[in-house]
Amino acid sequence: MAWAGPGPRAADASPQAAAANVAFLDALTWGATPSAFAQLTAEGRARWLQAQLHPPAESRLPPAAQAQVDALTPPGSLFERAQALDAQAKAFKDIQDPDAKKAAQQAFQAALNMAARNAASVWVLRALYSPDQLRERLTWFWFNRFNVHKGKSTLRAAVGDYLDTAIRPHVLGRFRDLLMASLRHPAMLRYLDNDANAAGRPNENYAREIMELHTMGVGSGYTQGDVEALARILSGVGINMKPETPKLRPEHAADFRRDGLFAFNPNRHDYGDKVFLGTRIQGRGWPEIEEAVDLIARHPATATNVSRALATYFLGQPPDDALVARLAAVFTRSDGDIAAVMEALVREPAFTAERGGAFKDPVRYVFSALRMAYDTRVIRNAGPVLGWLNRLGEGLFNRSTPDGYPLDAAAWSGPGQLATRFEIARQIGSGSAGLFKPTLPDQAEEPAFPVLANGLYFSTLSGTLSAATRAALAQAVSPQDWNTLYLASPEFMR
């Protein structure tokens, strides 16, 4: 199926072309819906894809979803919120009464938990209802690659800002800008301990993970010496909670930089010369970091490693080396333009070839089920969604290790996973499942029922089902039973 043609119109699309368009949507969005299918068939793939590759800078949502996002987004800057939390933490340390101290500590932890939960709910709303679906798919991919875990320190208060300011704005831009935005965000600096990295007291955690996970990859030619050199280069890159500028040594005072919580403190920086990836880097403060990021982002191993990960994520299986080499060439030629690499991937025959249906990871499974069940109708409560993802082992902000969740489909197809998915399919298929119960106590739950046997199903999806699945659906004794069987079918799982 050729990706760039004008695309069949909804009125005259053949069943094969319509099924191909649904597959195309499923591959690039969080799941096909009747409204998305109608838009794709009206616009044609080429026009639709260009809009996805080059969305407007601002995130767009339907009014009902945007209202919830606004209500869940805390006021003030991350710096202001961090200062307030710091003051709260210091205050309960001075409380003498044990019961009062315990209550204050619990209130502090509750505030952190609420911040992380609200940030995850905002993520769900954007994923389900943003018209810029490719940007949302890539936001998940890149957050997972540049993973931070909410459980460390007070990161629960920062993960939402990290996603919205360091990740999402750069997911279709240049890889170097994405890498630098992650490097400058306090969530990453705190998670991988670079806020403790100083001259004479080096901490190599972040330097190692940048090379091993974020960019070049294991076995790509860098050495332990390169890790040590990068740690020295990154010394002084950290966090400053105080509004005033620290007292600086006169000879390097002009090198101080800050942006909110982020700070480059020259007092903590190793100004010695370094040799990194075969290049001598003169000790001169922040420009060292810029030079090192340039070297890593433009290294051939980074082009290969990042291209392979993108292809694995969107194909659902490891790509062959020739395909990776073609994508890496685009990455290098375009100076790491992620949109250009994605466009090249979509042009590849492997992208539109029949792959036997790669097994969906939990996030994709749940989001695609909800999008098909309710299309443009906006849920009022993301709590059940967050619970399902935690039960399936892919909770948002919940991967404790820097490597992120597995990208390959095989990681998610065990028997325990299938049993849990069937139970979640039953909950989604049987009724509103708490999705339309507002979190505010004075608001009534909206009546809702998923519509999976919709026009898109009868016109297109039913023709893609196996005889066994059609036979199982024919035995359903109620709409709830039919919905459950459809969401638990092999075809919908893939």
> What's the one-letter identity of residue 13?
A
Alpha-carbon span 436 to 432, nearest angstrom: 6
Q: Tens of pLDDT along 29-73?
A: 999 999 999 999 999 999 999 999 999 999 899 999 999 999 999
CB 236 within 8 A of CB 265: yes
Tell me the CA distances in angstroms from 44 to 10, 30, 50, 375, one per residue in order.
10, 19, 10, 20
Q: Is the pLDDT assigned to residue 221 strictly greater than 80? A: yes
Tell me the CA distances in angstroms from 169 to 55, 143, 174, 423, one per residue in order.
10, 12, 10, 36
Which residues is 275 bridged to in the sheet? 280
Tell me the CA distances in angstroms from 119 to 26, 88, 283, 368, one per residue in order.
25, 21, 39, 20
Q: Tens of pLDDT along 289-336?
A: 999 999 999 999 999 999 999 999 999 889 999 999 999 999 999 999
φ, ψ at 77 (rounded to 5°): -85, 165
User: Lowest-confidence range among 198-202, 437-441, 490-494?
Assistant: 437-441
Q: Is the pLDDT assigned to residue 340 strictly greater than 80? A: yes
CB 267 within 8 A of CB 294: no
Mean pLDDT of 125-142: 98
Q: Is 249 exposed, middle or buried (0-12, 13-18, 19+ CB in 10 A)?
A: exposed
Mean pLDDT of 403-421: 90
CB 438 within 8 A of CB 380: yes
User: Angle CA(470)–CA(472)–CA(476) in degrees, nearest 5?
Assistant: 110
Q: Is the pLDDT assigned to residue 269 strictly greater than 50? A: yes
What is the chain's mean pLDDT, rounded? 94
Alpha-carbon span 311 to 29, nearest angstrom: 15
**Could you tell me the pLDDT band of residue 357, with boundaries at 50, 70 and 90?**
low
Other Cβ atoms within 10 Å of 344 Cβ, number: 23
Residues 6+ apart with CB under 8 A from 102: none
Burial pattern 192-217, b for ≥16 Cβ within 10 A else e, equals bebbbbbeeebbbbbbbbbbbbbbbb
User: Angle CA(174)–CA(135)–CA(392) in degrees, nearest 5?
Assistant: 120
User: Angle CA(488)–CA(309)–CA(25) in degrees, nearest 5?
Assistant: 45
Say which DSSP state 447 is in: P
Tell me the CA distances in angstroms from 463 to 15, 16, 106, 236, 486, one per residue in order.
8, 9, 54, 60, 13
- Which helix (H) or strand (E) segment holds residue 260: the answer is none
Which residues is 274 bridged to in the sheet? 281
State the pTM of this model. 0.95
In 3D, which of 184, 270, 190 has the Cα closest to residue 230? 270
Task: Supply the DSSP string of 309-353, one letter for each residue.
Answer: HHHHHHHSSPPPHHHHHHHHHHHHHTTSBHHHHHHHHHHSHHHHS
φ, ψ at 66 (rounded to 5°): -65, -40
Length of the chain as a residue count: 494
Residues 6+ apart with CB under 8 A from 488: 421, 422, 425, 426
